[in-house]
Structure 1
């Protein structure tokens, strides 16, 4: 079994309220949570659909795939060593360690791993 678990697709939006309304009212998706005016996550079944404004989107204007992994640093390094590129080196935010990369064809990937809770 792979250490990589595709967990979400992150879409760009300039209007979080309108995007949430579209996916909940038009497609019937359930809102899992909202983080302020810049990020929300919807229940997409086997994966989550994330909506993010440029403030919280890892690659604004693009679609990014969120991949959970135990070793964010190693995942980013492997991509860079095999024809991809690191867009944002591994760093810790409030909830997780993450790195933003492009694969060898320019597709966005966000590797992440939850930080231990105190």
Structure 2
């Protein structure tokens, strides 16, 4: 893919207003564009999240997860928890992970490499 210009992850959602609010207000990501309840683009560092309203033939599922690398892991976990988001933290020799979900149950996580 020598001509690759951008990458995005498409996420099927049940309620566009609720999902846009979660990704922008709760997670603090930037809304780039929105076309009614059909499609919205949310900017994460080096990645666009494309929200699509679920319709026939599409499923809201949990077969993939989206990770966000962070520098201030404990602070970011505290912010999520202060907003009522359930977070499960795990750690191994290489990384700390904080697992949580968006309003449709899509698995998300924060990651910080161990120093």
Structure 1 length-normalised TM = 0.44
Structure 2 length-normalised TM = 0.45
